Amino acid sequence: MNNKEVEITYIGHSTFILDDKKGTRLLIDPWLKDNPACPKDLQEPQDIDYILITHGHFDHIGDLFTACEINKDAKVITSLEISTWLNAKGISNTLPMGIGGSQPIDNNIKVTMVNAVHGSGIAGESSEGMVYGGVANGYILKFENGFTIYFAGDTAVFSDMKLIGDIYSPDLSVLPIGDHFTMGPLEASYATKLLGSNNVIPFHYGTFPVLVGTPEEYIKLVSDLDVNVYVMNPGDVL
């Protein structure tokens, strides 16, 4: 895998830090202090330039405000709906996007927002209801050296993953496998075939008892494919 210029740190559950080693650090779906999988020394990541949000569920934005407070100059990339909600909460440094659109950021990194099949309700400050958070999404991240990551976010398998593979040719796909709230190993194996990606990081499993999908099951299901599976523990760097 041509990953010499991009460092990937797994924080746990669905949270990652990507570092292009040229001065740009991206934090994806910050759920940190209340995340039982997050190592203590990674609960307050610093020197973050961009925060990417896939949807509004607590296990993806639970520490967004804390991350923004620690990294005051960080820009938040998210949907227009979540951006509008954040603006009303006092976070103005947002870069809203729509599915299908792209935007350049520092060091010739290109961010494209793509489909995900999932919800995006934002839990209110009480138990009385949820705030509309638009639709869930994934991201394509293309770095200056051409290395391309598909970060699926929380999603089911869907046939347009074939288009994602055809259009963006991701070198690495980051896919949920936990089942119950996202696709499980079986569906993720079909996603792998549709994408044609030769490298996969499984995530969103094991954090809660209902997330029963395992890397071992997924690896068995893709054993006939030409794919490298990188099973990362929280704190691991690839």
Note the pLDDT tens digit of each residue in 142-182: 999 999 999 999 999 999 999 999 999 999 999 999 999 99
> In the prediction, which pLDDT does 125 show?
64
Specify the pLDDT at position 133.
94
Residue-range domains of the chain with CATH = 7-229 (3.60.15.10)
Is the predicted pLDDT of residue 128 greater than 70, yes or no?
A: no
3-state secondary structure the chain: CCCCCCEEEEEECCEEEEECCCCCEEEECCCCCCCCCCCHHHCCCCCCCEEECCCCCHHHHCCHHHHHHHCCCCEEEEEHHHHHHHHHCCCCCEEEECCCCEEEEHHHEEEEEEECCCCCCEECCCCCCEECCCCCEEEEEECCCCCEEEECCCCCCCCCHHHHHHHHCCCEEEEECCCCCCCCHHHHHHHHHHHCCCEEEEECCCCCCCCCCCHHHHHHHCCCCCCEECCCCCCCEC
Whether the model clears a pTM of 0.85, i.e. scores above it, the answer is yes
Answer whether residue 2 shows pLDDT above 70: no
The mean predicted confidence, pLDDT, of the chain is 95
Residue 1 confidence (pLDDT) above 80: no
The tokens describing 66, both together, are: 């804390």
pLDDT of residue 52: 98
Please state, for a pLDDT cut of 90, what percent of the chain lies above it: 89
